[in-house]
């Protein structure tokens, strides 16, 4: 199918992306099938991937601690169990152990297709990392929200906004200026410099003018 420039993805396209990812198809093959560029599909997947959705969920019993093989801790749940907590089916130690350190993100996620939908290790339960998934329904809902928010001056997802706030507010409390924050972390944000400052002025990043010394 010829590449169509500037075409917005619709639900049918997202269904196709999800199905082909599950079948292990490459981003290039998906792009060719739905008639858009490789970059369009890659951007769609990275922008709308999620940890847990209705169709794809991380196993509750998955122990994500990097010390799970050597850990000898028992009875952290105070239920009188003598088995090692690292082998518990509920993986409660992920939440209650003070020494818990999560394993680094799977290196496969740094390259296309950026998600775990068709990963054989996940399917065979051999994967020991936290997973990312592309779900067509969730992606379409996020895209619809972004479209509405775009009319209101916001062009990124709620998760992206929350991530920006999580970076900016603590640094501002330490006395760093917005210009310094942008210089050091701007490459991590999904918007450009002008949009970043516009979001600040509009209060979209949950930062009011009273928190900006120069403004006051």
Are residues 180 and 117 part of one domain?
Answer: no
Are residues 174 and 95 part of one domain?
Answer: no
Are residues 160 and 81 part of one domain?
Answer: no
Are residues 133 and 162 part of one domain?
Answer: no
What range does the domain containing 16 cover? Answer: 11-57+112-137
**183 in a structural domain:** yes
Are residues 125 and 94 part of one domain?
Answer: no
Are residues 120 and 197 part of one domain?
Answer: no
- Rg of the chain on CA atoms, in Å: 21
pTM of the model: 0.59
What's the domain count of the chain? 3
Residue 215 has a pLDDT of: 41
**97 in a structural domain:** yes
**144 in a structural domain:** no
For the residues of 150-194, what is the DSSP string, one character each? HHTT--S-HHHHHHHHHHHHHHHHTT--HHHHHHHHGGGSSS-HH
Are residues 181 and 79 part of one domain?
Answer: no
**3 in a structural domain:** no
Residue 25 has a pLDDT of: 94
Are residues 120 and 72 part of one domain?
Answer: no
Residue 10 has a pLDDT of: 92
Are residues 69 and 52 part of one domain?
Answer: no
**1 in a structural domain:** no
Are residues 117 and 50 part of one domain?
Answer: yes
Q: How is residue 138 written in tokens?
A: 């969730």
Ordered per-residue pLDDT tens for the chain, 216 residues: 666 666 789 999 999 999 999 999 999 999 999 999 999 999 999 988 887 666 665 554 577 788 888 888 887 777 777 778 777 766 567 777 888 888 888 899 989 999 999 888 876 667 888 888 999 998 888 887 766 555 555 667 777 888 888 888 888 878 888 888 888 888 888 878 877 877 777 666 656 443 444 443
**191 in a structural domain:** yes
Torsion 155-156-158-164 (CA) sign = negative
**146 in a structural domain:** no
**83 in a structural domain:** yes
Are residues 81 and 174 part of one domain?
Answer: no
Are residues 165 and 203 part of one domain?
Answer: yes
């Amino acid at each position: 199918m010829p590449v169509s420039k500037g075409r917005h993805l619709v639900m049918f396209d997202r269904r196709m992306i999800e199905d082909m990812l599950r079948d292990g198809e490459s981003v290039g093959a998906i792009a060719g099938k739905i008639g858009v560029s490789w970059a369009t599909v890659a951007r769609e997947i990275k922008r709308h991937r999620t940890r847990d959705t209705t169709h794809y969920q991380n196993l509750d019993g998955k122990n994500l601690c990097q010390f799970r093989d050597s850990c000898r801790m028992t009875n952290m749940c105070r239920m009188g169990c003598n088995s090692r907590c690292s082998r518990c089916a509920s993986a409660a130690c992920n939440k209650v152990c003070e020494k818990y350190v999560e394993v680094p993100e799977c290196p496969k996620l740094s390259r296309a297709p950026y998600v775990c939908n068709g990963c054989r290790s996940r399917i065979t339960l051999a994967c020991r990392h936290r997973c990312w998934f592309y779900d067509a329904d969730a992606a379409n809902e996020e895209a619809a929200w972004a479209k509405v928010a775009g009319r209101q001056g916001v062009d990124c997802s709620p998760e992206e906004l929350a991530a920006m706030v999580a970076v900016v507010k603590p640094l501002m409390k330490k006395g760093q200026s917005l210009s310094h924050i942008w210089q050091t972390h701007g490459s991590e944000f999904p918007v450009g410099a002008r949009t970043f400052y516009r979001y600040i002025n509009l209060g979209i990043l949950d930062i009011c003018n009273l928190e900006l010394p120069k403004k006051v």
